[in-house]
Amino acid sequence: MKKIFLIVCLFVHVHLSGQQLAKPSDIQYKWQEQGRIMFVHFGVATWLGKEYDETGEFDISRINPTKLDTDQWCSVAKSWGAKEIIFVAKHAGSFCWWPTYTTEYCVRNIPWKNGKGDVIKDLANSCKKAGLNLGIYIYPGDIKWGAGLGSGGITKDPSKQEAYNKIFRQQLTEVLANYGEMLEVWFDGSCKVPVSDILQKYASKAVIFQGSDATIRWPGTESGILHYPVWNSLKGEVLKSGVATQYDDDPDGDVWAPLEADVTLYNHNWFWAPKNEAKRRTVDELMNIYYKSVGHGGTLLLNSNPDTTGLIPAGDVKRYAEFGTEISRRFKQPLAEVKNKTSNEVALVLTKPTKINHVILKEDYRQGHRIRKYELWGLIKNKWEKLTDGSSVGVTKIDYFDDVELTAIKLKVTEHKGTPLIRSMEAYDVTDFELPKSEKEAKEYTILEEWDTKNFVNGKGQMSIDLGKFITAPGQYEVVFTNAVSVTGMYVEKAEIIFDKDPNTLQEFIQRKPKQNVFFINRTGQIDKGTSSILNVLMSSDNRSFQNKGFVKIRKR
C-alpha cells in the first residue's frame, strides 16, 4: 500500500510541476500567434525631416497629408504577412492625431480635412475591413509639460504632475474608449502616470508594452533580433518594474511576458525623410531579422513610415511585398510535416531520399516552456547523423543547416519540464539559400576609466562617468567594475543614470546584477548629437590595510 501511495504522490508531483510553469493568457496567446506586426511612425518629425519633435512648437499648419490613405497602410501590412498595425497616435513632441480637446497641438488645428480629420478613426475602420488587429502607441510624456523622452510621464516640475496626470489619463481614455477594441497598448519608455484602472476598463483584451501593467516586453535593442535562447517567462517582480527586457528571461519564471522585437525599415530611422529612403533594408537583411525574431520564438514589429503626403512611399511598398514574397517562397509549403505529438521523441519519415536545409519546430506553449533542450537527427544512407541542436522552442523555432539528403528526421527532446507537447515539425528545402552571416556583437569590454581606493575618503569614493562615446544607439549596455586584487575588493553602494542632463531620469533604466558590481543600462531614446548618458556611482571599501584599484568597463549586450 505504501508503494502505491508513493507512486501516486510521485505522479501528482510530476503532474503539478508541469502545471507550475508560466503560461500565456488567452490575450497573450492571441497576440503571440500573429508573429508579425507593422508599426506606423507618422508625425511632426515627418515634416521636420528628423527623428523627433522635441519642442512641441512646430507650426502645425504645415501638416496637410492630402493623400493619406489608411487602406493603403493595411494593404502594405498584409503584403508581408503582418496581422496587426500599431499606430503612433502621439509621440514625445505631444502632437495628437485624433481630435482631442486636451491640447491645441492636434489634428483639429491642421489644414487636412479642414481640421475634421481623425487618423485613428480612419485606421480603425481600415483595419476592420482588412481583418487586421489594431494597437495604439500613445507616449506617456509630453514635452510641453516638461515630461520629455524617457520621463515615463514624470514632469520636471513636481507641482505640475497632478495636472498632467489628468491630461494624459483623459488622452488615454479617449484613445481606448472611442475606436473599438485594441489588441496592444504601447508605452514607450515605461509609464509612471497611474493608468491601471483605465487599462482594466478599456483595454482588458489588450497586451501592454512597458509600464507596471506590462504583459509583453522589449528585447533591449531596436535591432529586431532576439538572442537565442528565447524564454517568454520571467519573475513577476521584475516584470512590474515596467522596463524588463530579454535579459530578464527565466524559463522557470512565474509570469509569461513574450518578447516583441521592434526594428526600423530605414537603418536606423523611425520617421520618413527623403534621405532616409536610401537606408531602406534589403530583403536579405529583413530575412536575417525574421529568422532571429520570429524564428527564435518572438514577434517581429517592423516599422513603416508614411511620407508627408500620408502614403507609404512606393519604394517601401515594393520592399515590403518582396519581403512577404520571400517568406512565402521559403516556408509556404513544407515537404513533410508531423503534428500534435505528445512525446520526447518524434520522427518525420519521408517517402524517398529528400534534400532539406530547414526544420521548423513549434510546441504547444499554452502549457509553458516545457522543452528545454533538443536535438535534430537525420537518417542519411541508413545512418542517423546529428543535424543541429537547440534549447527554447515556444511558438516557432527555425533551424537551418547545409543541404542534406535524408529519408527521415528525428526530434529528440533531451531536457524538459513535463511531457513535451510538439505542435508541429516541418521540413523544407529552401532553394537559393546561403547560411546567414552570424550576428557578431562586440563581446570584448571597452575600458572607460580606472578607479583607485587611494582617492577614497573614509572608505568612500565617487565617480561620474561619461558613457556618451559608447552609448551611441538605443539598446542595452553592460557596465562592470572590476577589482585588480579580489582580496581587497570594492563595492558599488549606489549607481544612478542620468540621460540628457535630466535629473528626473527614471532609475528603472539601470538594473543591477545581484550581489555584483555589474549594471545593465537600457537606453530607449534616440541618440543625437545633443544627448548624453552619465553614470554616477558611490563606491566603498572596508579594507584599510591595502589600497586597491580596478577598471570600469562597458560593452553592448
> What is the mean pLDDT of the segment spanning 135-140?
96
548 and 453 in contact (C-beta within 8 Å)?
yes
Peptide bond before residue 99 is cis, with ω within 30 degrees of 0: no
pLDDT at 179 > cutoff 60: yes
Lowest mean per-residue pLDDT among 172-176, 533-537, 541-545: 541-545
Q: Per-residue pLDDT for 314 more than 80?
A: yes
pLDDT of 240 higher than 80:
yes
What pLDDT, on a 0 to 100 scale, did the predictor assign at position 546? 55
Q: Which residues contact 393 (CB under 8 A, 6 or more apart)?
A: 297, 361, 362, 363, 365, 369, 371, 374
- pLDDT band, very low/low/confident/very high, at 529 (cuts 50, 70, 90): confident
For the ranges 2-16, 71-85, 377-391, which has the lowest average pLDDT? 2-16
Confidence of residue 490 (pLDDT cuts 50, 70, 90): confident
Q: How do beta strands 336-342 and 371-380 pair?
A: unpaired
**pLDDT beyond 70 at 545:** no
Q: Is the pLDDT of residue 7 over 60?
A: no
Dist CA 506 CA 509 (whole Å): 6
pLDDT at res. 544? 58
Between CA 177 and CA 203 the distance in angstroms is: 8
Residue 295 clears pLDDT 50, i.e. is over it: yes
Q: Using pLDDT thresholds of 50, 70 and 90, give the confidence band for residue 366.
A: very high
* Lowest-pLDDT range of 16-25, 76-85, 367-376, 445-454: 16-25
Contact 170, 84 (CB under 8 A): no
Predicted confidence band of residue 485 (pLDDT cuts 50, 70, 90): low
Q: How confident is the model at residue 447 (pLDDT cuts 50, 70, 90)?
A: confident
Paired with 479 in beta bridges are 519, 554
> Looking at the chain, which residues constitute the CATH 3.20.20.80 domain(s)?
26-332
- pLDDT, residue 6, reads 42
Written in H, E and C, the secondary structure of 479-523 is: EEECCCCHHHCCEEEEEEEEECCCCCCCHHHEEECCCCCEEEEEE
- Residue 209 CA to residue 256 CA, distance in Å, equals 13
pLDDT digits (tens, 9 = 90+) for 328-339: 999 999 999 999
With pLDDT > 90 as the criterion, what percentage of the chain qualifies? Answer: 74
pLDDT at 422: 98
Measured CA distances, 215 to 202, 218, 235 (Å): 16, 11, 12
Mean pLDDT of 393-419: 97
Residue 134 has pLDDT above 50, yes or no: yes
Instruction: Flag the least confident range among 5-19, 22-36, 133-147.
Output: 5-19
Residues of the chain with CATH 2.60.120.260: 336-428
Question: Per-residue pLDDT for 556 more than 90?
Answer: no
Roughly how many angstroms between the first and final C-alpha of the chain, as a whole number? 56
Please check whether residue 311 is in contact with residue 67, taking contact to mean a CB–CB distance below 8 angstroms: yes
- Binning pLDDT at 50, 70 and 90, where does residue 354 land? very high
Architecture of domain 336-428: Sandwich (2.60)
Q: Is the pLDDT reported for residue 5 higher than 80?
A: no
3-state secondary structure of 32: helix
Residue-level pLDDT at 488 = 59
So what's the pLDDT on residue 386? 96
Contacts of 497 (CB under 8 A, 6+ apart): 505, 507, 509, 510, 521, 533, 534, 535, 536
Bond from prior residue into 358 cis (ω within 30 degrees of 0) = no
DSSP strand pairing (460-466 vs 397-416): unpaired
What is the pLDDT confidence band of residue 8, given thresholds at 50, 70 and 90?
A: very low
Q: What tens digit of pLDDT does each residue of 200-230 get?
A: 999 999 999 999 999 999 998 899 999 899 9
| CA–CA separation, 551 and 59 (whole Å) | 49
Mean pLDDT of 47-52: 85
* pLDDT confidence of residue 247: 78
Across 530-538, average pLDDT: 90
Residues 6+ apart with CB under 8 A from 133: 34, 83, 84, 85, 127, 183, 184
Q: What percent of the chain is predicted at pLDDT more than 70?
A: 93
Pick from 49-53, 105-109, 293-297, 467-471: least confident: 49-53
Strands 260-263 and 299-304: parallel
Q: Looking at residue 543, what is its pLDDT?
A: 65
Residue range 446-556 forms a domain whose CATH class is: mainly beta
> For the whole model, what pTM was predicted?
0.85
Neighbours of 553 (CB within 10 A): 17
- The CA–CA distances, whole Å, from 280 to 173, 234, 260, 302, 525 equal 36, 35, 21, 12, 21
Could you say which of 3.20.20.80, 1.10.3720.10, 3.40.50.720, 3.90.1300.10 is the CATH number of the domain covering 26-332? 3.20.20.80
Q: What is the pLDDT of residues 257-294, one digit of tens each?
A: 999 999 999 998 999 999 999 999 999 999 999 999 99
Report d(CA 371, CA 523) in Å as an integer: 32
pLDDT attached to residue 9? 41
| 145: pLDDT strictly greater than 80 | yes
Q: How far, in Å, CA of 382 to CA of 378, rounded?
A: 9
Most confident of 139-148, 165-174, 232-241: 165-174
Do 348 and 396 touch, CB atoms closer than 8 A? Answer: no
425, 411 in Cβ contact below 8 A?
Answer: yes
Q: Which residue has the higher pLDDT, 522 or 12?
A: 522
Residues 6+ apart with CB under 8 A from 166: none
Q: What is the Cα–Cα distance from 327 to 60, expressed in whole angstroms?
A: 40
Q: Are 399 and 360 in contact (CB under 8 A)?
A: yes
C-alpha cell at 518: 555589474
Of residues 423 and 542, more confidently modeled? 423
Amino acid sitting at position 135: G
